[in-house]
């Protein structure tokens, strides 16, 4: 990630006058694919709030500025979780969407049930806490953040289906589930189905995405790809030196840092030759495979940079070359 800036600097740098127009045409923000049978469309790219918080007052102000800018730019998929900032992320997102008026109804709002709250007696209180912080009576999409081998997923799903029947959940999804875990979760649902599986997936970290994608394509389950830019490596940052690493699932970057930085430098050279932003290789590689990227941004400027990359689609030949480089077959 880029160095953090004070909220006041972020605000001063935002353009005066009319807000920037939403990204359109190839690499647009509108449209998407149907979200199960909800009647909603799942946007092609979204903003995740994990990277937005260290949760000091100045960080919260910066987060609000970034979210407000995302709304102005036309972003309509927002992803948070009860564990992000111990609920602060949900509260901030709810406040920003409330102040944005009708945007909340146009948006796909996603939050997650913690792996610590999967027992049936915990599910309802966890959801009600999230809804209270978000200022909502229901959430569009509710994900199981990660499976817990100590809890039968069938019990969790039964509790979630009850809440879905009550209208408190628009759709049910999961995160970090294998194919076997997906099958177990789906078999426990009687009147609805899993519509999303959110996994770690990018050019450099493929294992989880490649495992579930064929099954999800066949079953019409949307694959959301978190960390699509590999903590900034695939956007041209950290090409040398150290790389910040967050959740335990991402430590593979640190374990093979020299290798992935060499690959990232080769991809950066490819992007320069193709005259496209480096991040566009990573984002459109995912879209080409049918995965929807969930990006992070720590400032309005970083968000603008990512949306500019999304608006620039490399040729099929360039994407094929990026894939070959990332697989280690640079030639």
* Signed CA dihedral, 31, 144, 304, 18: sign only: positive
pLDDT interval class at 240 (50, 70, 90): confident
Answer whether residue 281 shows pLDDT above 80. Answer: yes
Looking at residue 123, which CATH number applies to its domain?
3.20.20.100
Answer whether residue 173 shows pLDDT above 70. Answer: yes
Average pLDDT of the segment spanning 235-260: 74
Contacts of 286 (CB under 8 A, 6+ apart): 201, 202, 225, 228, 292, 293
Q: Classify residue 1: in a domain, yes or no.
A: no
Q: Classify residue 145: in a domain, yes or no.
A: yes
Q: Are 163 and 141 in contact (CB under 8 A)?
A: no
Task: Say what the pLDDT of residue 183 is.
Answer: 98
pLDDT per residue as tens digits for the range 76-112: 999 999 999 889 999 999 999 999 988 988 999 999 9
Q: Classify residue 17: in a domain, yes or no.
A: no
Task: Say what the pLDDT of residue 55 is.
Answer: 63
> Three-class SS of residue 264?
helix
Same-domain check for residues 190 and 54 = yes
Task: Say what the pLDDT of residue 31 is.
Answer: 83
pLDDT per residue as tens digits for the range 12-67: 333 333 344 444 445 788 889 999 989 999 999 999 998 655 567 778 888 899 99
- What are phi and psi for residue 100, nearest 5 degrees? -85, -5
Q: Classify residue 10: in a domain, yes or no.
A: no
Least confidently predicted of 91-105, 137-151, 183-197:
91-105
Q: Classify residue 327: in a domain, yes or no.
A: yes
Active site residues: 84
CA distance 37 to 35: 6
Task: Say what the pLDDT of residue 247 is.
Answer: 53
Q: Classify residue 72: in a domain, yes or no.
A: yes
- What are phi and psi for residue 327, nearest 5 degrees? -80, -5
Same-domain check for residues 265 and 322 = yes
Q: Which two tokens stand for residue 275?
A: 């005259």
Q: Classify residue 219: in a domain, yes or no.
A: no
Least confidently predicted of 34-43, 158-167, 303-312:
34-43
Range of 238's domain? 231-289+298-331
Same-domain check for residues 163 and 235 = no
Q: Are 63 and 19 in contact (CB under 8 A)?
A: no
CA distance 308 to 315: 16
Task: Say what the pLDDT of residue 330 is.
Answer: 60
Average pLDDT of the segment spanning 157-162: 98
Q: Classify residue 13: in a domain, yes or no.
A: no
Is 106 buried (19+), middle (13-18) or exposed (0-12) by CB count in 10 A? middle
Percent of the chain with pLDDT over 90: 75
Same-domain check for residues 125 and 248 = no
Number of separate domains in the chain? 2
Given 178, 200, 222, which residue is the final one in a domain?
A: 200
Q: Are 324 and 204 in contact (CB under 8 A)?
A: no
Contacts of 229 (CB under 8 A, 6+ apart): 202, 235, 279, 282, 283, 295, 296, 306
CA distance 25 to 93: 28
Same-domain check for residues 193 and 254 = no
Which has the closest alpha carbon to 68: 92, 32, 42, 40? Answer: 92
Same-domain check for residues 188 and 329 = no
Same-domain check for residues 66 and 134 = yes
Least confidently predicted of 66-75, 123-132, 242-251, 303-312:
242-251
Same-domain check for residues 195 and 235 = no
Same-domain check for residues 150 and 237 = no
């Amino acid at each position: 990630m880029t160095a953090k800036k004070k909220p006041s600097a972020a605000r001063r740098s935002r353009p005066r006058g009319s807000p920037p127009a939403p990204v359109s045409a190839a690499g647009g923000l509108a449209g998407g694919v149907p979200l199960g049978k909800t009647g909603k469309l799942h946007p092609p790219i979204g903003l995740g709030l994990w990277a937005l918080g260290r949760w000091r007052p100045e960080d919260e102000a910066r987060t609000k500025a970034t979210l407000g800018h995302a709304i102005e730019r036309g972003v309509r998929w927002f992803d948070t979780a009860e564990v992000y900032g111990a609920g602060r992320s949900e509260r901030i997102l709810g406040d920003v969407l409330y102040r944005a008026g009708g945007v909340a109804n146009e948006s796909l709002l996603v939050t997650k049930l913690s792996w610590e709250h999967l027992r049936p007696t915990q599910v309802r209180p966890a959801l009600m806490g999230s809804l209270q912080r978000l200022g909502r009576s229901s959430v569009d999409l509710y994900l199981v953040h990660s499976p817990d081998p100590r809890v039968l997923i069938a019990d969790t799903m039964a509790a979630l289906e009850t809440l879905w029947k009550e209208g408190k959940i628009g759709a049910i999804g999961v995160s970090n589930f294998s194919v076997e875990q997906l099958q177990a979760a789906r078999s426990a649902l009687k009147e609805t189905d899993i519509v999303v599986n959110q996994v770690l997936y990018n050019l450099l970290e493929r294992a989880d995405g490649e495992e579930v994608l064929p099954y999800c394509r066949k079953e019409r389950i949307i694959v959301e790809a978190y960390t699509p830019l590999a903590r900034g490596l695939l956007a041209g940052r950290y090409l040398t030196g150290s790389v910040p690493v967050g959740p335990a699932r991402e430590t593979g970057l640190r374990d093979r840092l020299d290798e992935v930085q060499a690959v990232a430098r080769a991809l950066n050279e490819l992007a320069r030759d193709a005259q496209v932003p480096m991040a566009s290789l990573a984002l459109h590689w995912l879209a080409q495979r049918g995965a929807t990227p969930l990006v992070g941004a720590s400032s309005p400027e970083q968000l603008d940079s990512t949306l500019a990359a999304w608006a620039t689609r490399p040729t099929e030949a360039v994407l094929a070359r990026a894939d070959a480089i990332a697989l280690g077959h640079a030639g």
